Chains A and B, each alone.
Chain A
Amino acid sequence: MAADEGLVLRGVTAGYGRSSVLHGVDIAVRPGRRVAVLGPNGAGKTTTLRAVSGLVAVRSGEIALDGVSLVGLRPDEVVARGVAHVPQGRRVFPDFTVEENLRAAAYSRGGRDVDGDIATVLEAFPRLRDRFGVRAGFLSGGEQQMLAIGRAVVQRPKLVLIDEMSLGLAPILIKELYSRLDVLFSDVPAVIVEQNPSVALEHCSWVYVLSNGQVKATGPASEFSSPERLMQAYAGAVE
C-alpha cells in the first residue's frame, strides 16, 4: 500500500453491538477526489463514516488512509492520523461559544496555533464572526453546520468525512455551504454522505450508491444524473 493511496475500504463488515449494518463494503477515495455516498436510509452510509472514524467496530475487512490501517484505532487516534469527521446532526458543543468550539478542534495539537485557521473559517463564514461569542446551542441549524465545518478546517485534516450536511437546511444555504467546501478543502479528499443526492452530485466527482449495507453501484458522478438511474440503484429494477 503506497503512501499516496487516499482512503481505501475493502470488504468492510461492521455493526453496532451484535447487529451487522455493513456487509462487505468497498470504497476508494483517491487524493484530489471528492466522493459522494448515496443511498436510502438504513443503507449504512453513516455507519461507513463511523467505521472509518473508529466509532463503530469493524468486524472484518480493511480500512486504510495513505497506506496506514485505521482498523481498531480509538477515535482520537484516528483524528491524530488526519481524519476530520463532520458528524450527522452537527454535534457542536452546545455550552461552548463559537470560538470555544473552534479552539476545541485543535485539541490534538495542544490548542496551539489556531488563530490563523479561525481567521480562515470566519472569512468563509462571515455569519460566524457575528456570532463569535454566542453559545453554540443557540445557533440556527445552518450556523451550526458552518461551525461544524469550521471545526474540521481547524483540524487541518488529510481527509474529510461529512455526514448529511444538508439535513434540515434550505436549498440556498445548502448550495452556499457546498461552494464553500470547494474553497476550504480544495485539495483534501472528501467523502460526503447525503440522502438527498442532487446537490452532492454537482460537487462530487465520483459516486457510490449504498443499499442494505452493500455497494450497489459506483461510477463517475455524470453517470448518475438521471433520477431513474438513481432510483434503480436504490430500490431495485423498475419493471
Chain B
Amino acid sequence: MNVLRRLPGKDVVVALLAILLVFGLSGALTGYQVYVVTVVVIFTVIGASHTILFGAAGQPSVGHAALLGAGVYTAVAIGQAGLGMEVELVGGVVVGTLIGVVIGLPSLRIGSLYLAIATLALCVVGQQIYFEWTALTGGGAGVQIPPPTLFGTVYTPLGLLYIALVMMGVCLLFARNLLRGRQGRAWNALRTSPLAASSLGMSLGWQKVAAFGVSGALVGCAGVLYAHAVNYVSPQDFTLDLSIVTLVIAIIGGQRYLWGAALGAIFVEGVPEVLRAAGEFRYVIFGAVFVLIMLFFPEGFAGGIVALWRRWGPGRRPSGPAPVELQPTATLVEAELAQSTTGAGGGGERLSIKDVRVAFGGVTAVDGVTVDIAPGSVVGLVGPNGAGKTTLLNAISGFVPVESGTVAVGEHVLRARRPAQRRALGVGRTFQNLSLHEGLTVLDHLMIGQHAVAGYGPVGQALRLPPFVKGERRMRATALETAEILGLGHLVGERVENLAYGVQKRVDVARAIVARPRILLLDEPAAGLTPDEGDDLVGRVLVHSRHVGATVVLVEHNIELVMRVTDRVVALNFGRVIADDVPDVVRRQDDFVEAYLGS
C-alpha cells in the first residue's frame, strides 16, 4: 500500500485511464452527444485555465471570453490561409499566451480587485472589437468554419472529439506539471500570503503575469477546438456572461483541483443538456447550486469529495493532529548554554544599521537608529508599544522604505529594494500575524520557504527534467530535517489551518529558517503562546541558529525571556536607541526602566 502511495504520477495514470475510457465509449454516441462531450472537454480546458489563474494564483478574471475569441479567430485566420489544424493549434497557443501576458502586465502595478474589474472591461471592449473587425469575424453575421484538417486528413466530429481529448490531456498534463513544484507553490503562496511570498524572494507581479500567460495559452488552444466544434461562430458568442460561466465552472468544480475543472464542465455544460427536459428550471437549479456551493462548499465539488474522503476514507484519523512535544526548560537552558558558541557556525552576516530614519504620514517611527550587529550574534530588540521595533524590522527586510541612513548586510548596502531581493542576500523573517498559507500543508510551507534556492526553473519543471527531480528531492530532505528541529516532524502532512496557534507559529518560524538565512529576523515569536510554548519555540530556534551561526534579531515583549537568551539587548523608545548593551547592564539602566515605567 505504501508503495502505491508514493508512486509519482499516479494521478496522471488515473487521468489517462479516464480519458481512454471516454475515448472508448465515444464510438457509441450519437452525433449530438458527441457534440456535447466535445463541448465539455473544451470547457474543461478553459476551466483549467482558471484553476491556474484563479485557483492557484488567486486572480479572478472575467475576460476569458475575449481570450477564447482570440483563439477562435486565430484558427479562422490560419484556416483561411489554407493551413491545417496543427498550425492553428500552435497559433492559438501563441496568440493566447501573448494576449494573456499583455492582460497580466498591469499586475505589476495594480491589485487583484482592480485587475479583475479591468478584465471585465477587456471582455466588453474585446467583444466590440470583434464586432467591428468584420473582415476577420464577419461582424454580426458571423463566419462559417470548415471541418478540421489535421496533417492533411479531414476529421469528422467524432474525430474532432478524439483530437480534443488528446489536446485536453496534453494541456492538463502541462498544467499539472506546473502546479506540482516550485511554480505552483509560488502561485499558491502569493495567493494566500503575498507578504510572506515576497519575503521569500518571489516577485509577485511577474508571477501573476506568468499565470496570465499560461492561462491564455490554455484558452487559446481551447478556442481553436471550439471553433471547429461549433462550426459557426459570431462575436455574439463572446459575452461577459460566457466569461463568468467559465470562471464559475472552475469554482463549482473546485478551483484548487484540475480535475475539478472537469467536474465543473460536466455540471455546467453537460448536465443542462441532459436536463433539457427540465426546461427552464435548469438555470434556476444552476444558480441555486452555485449559491449553495459558495455557502457550504467553497472548495467546490472536488473539494467536497476530497473532504469526504479525508473524513471517511481509509487512513482517516479519529482525532485531530497530535500536539507538539514541549521541553521549555530544557531548550531554554540549551539556548543559554549555546551562547558560548557565538559565530562558530560561520553562517551569519554582519548587520550594520547606520542612522536609519523611517517616517510615514508625518510620524517619525524610527529616528536615527544605529546598531552594529556582529555575525552570528543574537540581539534582542525591545521597547514599549510604538517604539519602532517592527518598523525597524520592516525597514531591514525591505517592506518599508528608509528615508535616510543605510542598512548593510555584510558588505552589501541595501538600497530601496523590494523584499524579494533581501532574500537573495540571505535575510529571512517571521511575521507578527504569521502570514501562513491557508490550505497548504506544513511540508508545503517548508518547500515554499526554499523557493529561492530550488535550483530549477519553470521549463525544467514543466518537462520534469533532472534538475527538477534532484532539486525536489533535496528540498524535501531539508524540509523534513527542519521540521524535526522544531518538533513538527509528525505534522508535515497537516493543513496549517487545522493546527493549534502555537504550532502555527512554529511553522512560520520553520518557513523562515528552512533556507538557512544568514540574518534571521524574529518578530515576536512568543506572542500569543503560553509561557511554555513560547520558551520552547524561542529556545529551539536559537539553539539551531547558534549551531549554524546565523545572525539573529529577536523582537520580543517577554523581557524575562530576552534577558536570558540574547548576547545583547537594544532598547528603543520613540524610535531612538535608549540602551544597547549586555542584558544585565540594560535591565538596570535608568532610561530603560523609565521607558517602561514612566518617570
Q: Do chains A and B touch in the complex (CB under 8 A)?
A: yes
Q: Would you call A198 and B531 a contact (CB within 8 A)?
A: no
Q: Would you call B597 and A235 a contact (CB within 8 A)?
A: no
Q: Would you call B597 and A236 a contact (CB within 8 A)?
A: no
Bound-state Cα–Cα, A214 to B530, Å: 10
Nearest B residue to A15, CB-CB: B528
A197 to chain B, nearest CB (A): 6
Digit string of A154-171 for contact with B (CB within 8 Å is 1, else 0)?
A: 000000000010011000
Q: Does A199 contact B (CB under 8 A)?
A: yes
- Give the residues from 107 to 134 in chain B that come closer than 8 angstroms, CB to CB, to chain A: none
A212 to chain B, nearest CB (A): 5
Chain B residues near A164: list those with CB within 8 A.
385
Nearest A residue to B592, CB-CB: A231
Chain A residues near B599: list those with CB within 8 A.
198
Chain B residues near A227: list those with CB within 8 A.
593-594, 597
B166 to chain A, nearest CB (A): 47
Known contacts A40-B557, A167-B386, A231-B593; A199/B598 CB under 8 A: yes
Nearest B residue to A194, CB-CB: B598
Bound-state Cα–Cα, A5 to B588, Å: 41
Nearest A residue to B499, CB-CB: A18
Chain A residues near B530: list those with CB within 8 A.
20, 23, 213
Known contacts A18-B501, A198-B597; A41/B587 CB under 8 A: no
Q: Would you call A195 and B384 a contact (CB within 8 A)?
A: yes
Q: Does A140 contact B (CB under 8 A)?
A: no
Known contacts A20-B528, A235-B559, A235-B563; A40/B596 CB under 8 A: yes
Bound-state Cα–Cα, A227 to B597, Å: 7
Nearest A residue to B584, CB-CB: A239
Chain B residues near A19: list those with CB within 8 A.
501, 527-529
Chain B residues near A167: list those with CB within 8 A.
385-386
Digit string of B566-599 for contact with A (CB within 8 Å is 1, else 0)?
A: 0000000000000000001001100001101111
Bound-state Cα–Cα, A43 to B560, Å: 12
Q: Does A116 contact B (CB under 8 A)?
A: no
Digit string of A7-47 for contact with B (CB within 8 Å is 1, else 0)?
A: 00000000111111101000000000000000011110000
Q: Does A238 contact B (CB under 8 A)?
A: yes
Q: Would you call B528 and A197 a contact (CB within 8 A)?
A: no
A118 to chain B, nearest CB (A): 32
Chain A residues near B501: list those with CB within 8 A.
15, 17-20
> Counting chain A CB atoms within 10 Å of each CB, which of B584, B593, B598 scores highest?
B598
Q: Does A196 contact B (CB under 8 A)?
A: yes
Chain A residues near B593: list those with CB within 8 A.
227, 231
Q: Does B330 contact A (CB under 8 A)?
A: no
Interface residues contributed by chain B, number (CB under 8 Å): 27
Q: Does B524 contact A (CB under 8 A)?
A: yes
Q: Would you call B558 and A42 a contact (CB within 8 A)?
A: yes
- Give the residues from 31 to 81 in chain A that come closer than 8 angstroms, CB to CB, to chain B: 40-43
Q: Would you call B559 and A236 a contact (CB within 8 A)?
A: yes
Q: Does A230 contact B (CB under 8 A)?
A: yes
Q: Does A206 contact B (CB under 8 A)?
A: no
Digit string of A90-125 for contact with B (CB within 8 Å is 1, else 0)?
A: 000000000000000000000000000000000000
A71 to chain B, nearest CB (A): 21
Nearest A residue to B559, CB-CB: A235
Q: Would you call A212 and B558 a contact (CB within 8 A)?
A: yes
Chain A residues near B596: list those with CB within 8 A.
40, 195, 231, 234
B318 to chain A, nearest CB (A): 21
Known contacts A19-B528, A41-B385, A195-B384; A235/B598 CB under 8 A: no
Bound-state Cα–Cα, A15 to B584, Å: 32
A210 to chain B, nearest CB (A): 12
Interchain CB contact (< 8 A) of A18 among B386, B504, B560, B584 = B504
Bound-state Cα–Cα, A167 to B574, Å: 12
A209 to chain B, nearest CB (A): 11
Interchain CB contact (< 8 A) of B557 among A43, A196, A230 = A43
Known contacts A195-B385, A198-B598; A42/B587 CB under 8 A: no
Q: Would you call A21 and B557 a contact (CB within 8 A)?
A: no
Q: Does B22 contact A (CB under 8 A)?
A: no
A102 to chain B, nearest CB (A): 27
Q: Does B500 contact A (CB under 8 A)?
A: yes
Bound-state Cα–Cα, A227 to B599, Å: 9
Q: Would you call B597 and A42 a contact (CB within 8 A)?
A: no
Bound-state Cα–Cα, A43 to B500, Å: 20
> Counting chain B CB atoms within 10 Å of each CB, which of A20, A23, A168, A238 scores highest?
A20
Chain A residues near B559: list those with CB within 8 A.
40, 234-236
Q: Would you call A197 and B598 a contact (CB within 8 A)?
A: yes
Nearest A residue to B389, CB-CB: A41
Digit string of A197-239 for contact with B (CB within 8 Å is 1, else 0)?
A: 1110000000000001110000000000001001100111011
Chain B residues near A238: list those with CB within 8 A.
587-588
Question: Could you name 21 residue pairs across A and B whose Cβ atoms are closer than 8 Å?
Answer: A15-B528, A16-B528, A19-B529, A20-B529, A20-B530, A40-B557, A41-B384, A41-B557, A167-B386, A195-B384, A195-B385, A196-B597, A196-B598, A198-B598, A198-B599, A212-B531, A212-B534, A213-B531, A227-B593, A234-B596, A236-B563
Smallest CB-CB A-B distances: 5 pairs: A19-B528, A42-B557, A18-B501, A196-B598, A236-B560
19 additional contacts (CB under 8 A) given A20-B530, A235-B563: A16-B528, A17-B501, A19-B527, A19-B529, A20-B501, A20-B529, A23-B530, A41-B384, A195-B385, A196-B597, A196-B598, A197-B598, A198-B599, A212-B558, A213-B531, A231-B596, A234-B597, A235-B559, A238-B587
